[in-house]
Amino acid sequence: MSMPREESLLEVRDLGKYFGRTVGCESVSFDLWPGEVLGVVGESGSGKSTLLKCLSAQTAPDRGIVRYRLRDEDLCDVHALSEARQRMLMRTDWGIVHQNPRDGLRFGISAGANVGERLIAVGARHYGNIRTEVTDWLQRVEMEQSRMDDLPGTFSGGMQQRLQIARNLVTQPRLVFMDEPTSGLDVSVQARLLDLIRTLVGTLRIACIVVTHDLGVVRLLTHRLMVMRGGRVVEQGLTDQVLDDPQHPYTQLLVSSILPV
């Protein structure tokens, strides 16, 4: 008797991106497993945002490879896919929750249409069914159903982030990228949003890569952690281990700066 071995969802090897002589990110390698939440932490300029862009096919890396396991297929080189397939991937199997809701939502169409658009993009053509699924998802992110026909601009920052999450999760993606998903929000709003994300991601077994400068977010949300500085990963491991027993001097500094005095 042997347990079926699960295969990795994402494999990253020796990823590098340069802006002239400046290092964006360099020598980044890791595997991500289905349902796993990986945190990438660092100060601004540490390369974490550049890394996220390279991983999510928004920017082509200068070296290295990002392989993603498509449904029922082998690993594919994300950056070798045609643009059509990349865009399809982003609308179906992937999700991206942006820091600024303006980058992730369409402000000219209703909240419900923002969620419905992803379903329509993958071929849904029955209005009633789309409506039902949108309603269901707005409930799951704890938004009022009565407001589904309102424009995103009429919602609070926290609600806009919930809407982004619903828009991304409605197609049941297997991998979601999150770029500072809670920054700029009030502390209490932040806590409730993080709680929601953790519950949804856990229940649906969605793999996530969460980029943040906030160790509180990392502690609450992620299983594993990479600490970046100057474009390189200086330490990685299980989140609790890295935060409780940091090995690298930089991580020690980072951790100590948030410790309550």
Partner 1 sequence: MSGVASAAGGKTLAGYNFAYLDEQTKRMIRSAILTAVAIPGHQIPFGSREMPLPYGWGTGGIQVTASIIGADDTLKVIDQGADDTTNAVSIRRFFSKTAGVRTTESTREATIIQTRHRIPEAPLAEGQILVYQVPIPEPLRWLEPREVETRKMHALSEYGPMHVQLYEQIATFGRIAATYDYPVMVHGRYLMRPSPIPKFDNPKMDRNPALQLFGAGREKRIYAVPPYTSVKSLDFDDHPFSVESWEHCCGLCGAGASYLDEIVIDDKGGRMFVCSDTDFCTQRQAQGFRGPLNSEAAE
Interface with partner 1 by CB under 8 A: which residues? 83-84, 87, 106, 108-110, 112-113, 116-117, 120-121, 125-128, 130-131, 148-149
187's CB contacts (< 8 A; 6+ apart) are: none
Q: Which is nearer to partner 1, 109 or 253 (CB)?
A: 109
Strand ranges across the sheet with 94-97: 94-97, 175-179, 207-212, 37-41, 224-229, 232-238
Give me the least distance between CB of 95 and partner 1, in Å please: 16
Give burial (CB, 10 Å; 0-12/13-18/19+) of 224.
buried
Give me the least distance between CB of 246 and partner 1, in Å please: 44
Give me the least distance between CB of 206 and partner 1, in Å please: 22
CA-closest candidate to residue 169, choices 139, 146, 125, 128: 139
Rounded to whole angstroms, how far apart are CA atoms 243 and 254? 9
Give me the least distance between CB of 129 and partner 1, in Å please: 8
Strands 63-69 vs 75-77: parallel, antiparallel or unpaired: antiparallel
DSSP 87-126: HHHHHTTEEEE-SSHHHHS-TTS-HHHHHHHHHHHTT---
Q: Which is nearer to partner 1, 60 or 120 (CB)?
A: 120
Query: Hey, is 64 helix, strand or coil?
Result: strand
Q: Which is nearer to partner 1, 148 or 178 (CB)?
A: 148
Please name the helix (run of DSSP H) or strand (run of DSSP E) that holds residue 31, with its range, or none: strand 22-32
Q: Which is nearer to partner 1, 117 or 214 (CB)?
A: 117
Give me the least distance between CB of 149 and partner 1, in Å please: 5
Q: Which is nearer to partner 1, 6 or 149 (CB)?
A: 149
Q: Which is nearer to partner 1, 75 or 121 (CB)?
A: 121
Query: Cβ(183)–Cβ(11) under 8 Å?
Result: no
Residue whose pair of structure tokens reads 């419900």 in the numeric block: 112
Give me the least distance between CB of 125 and partner 1, in Å please: 5
Q: Which is nearer to partner 1, 140 or 167 (CB)?
A: 167
Rounded to whole angstroms, how far apart are CA atoms 49 and 36? 19
Give me the least distance between CB of 76 and partner 1, in Å please: 18
